Amino acid sequence: MGNKVDSTEEKRYKGLSPFELKNKLIQMAETHHEAMMLNAGRGNPNWVATTPREGFFQLDLFAIEESQRMLWRPQVGGA
């Protein structure tokens, strides 16, 4: 990667948002095939991971049932 960025080009990049800069870097990597760049993206949003969400939901249900089985003590969680 022997390409240097001159000061005017550097100033242009400095004014870009992080997403614009990412897109510019991807564009540069596609046109300069001597350097490879990994585009890892941002991954899946959390709501797609249904298995862990279901596990946490079951844990919440258990916690609610257990707190309802206790004697009525507002500071402890009984109803």
3-state secondary structure the chain: CCCCCCHHHHHHHHCCCHHHHHHHHHHHHHHCCCCCCCCCCCCCCHHHCHHHHHHHHHHHHHHHHHHHHCCCCCCCCCC
Structural domain count, the chain: 2
Instruction: Write the CB contacts of 64 (distance below 8 Å, at least 6 apart in sequence).
Output: none
Q: Do residues 4 and 33 share a domain? A: yes
Q: Which two structure tokens, joined as six digits, stand for 52?
A: 């862990």
Tens digits of per-residue pLDDT, 22-62?
888 888 777 776 666 666 666 666 667 788 889 999 999 99
Q: What range defines the domain where residue 70 resides?
A: 44-79
Q: Do residues 1 and 39 share a domain? A: yes
Tens digits of per-residue pLDDT, 2-28?
456 677 877 888 888 888 888 888 887
Q: Do residues 7 and 30 share a domain? A: yes
* Global confidence as pTM: 0.35
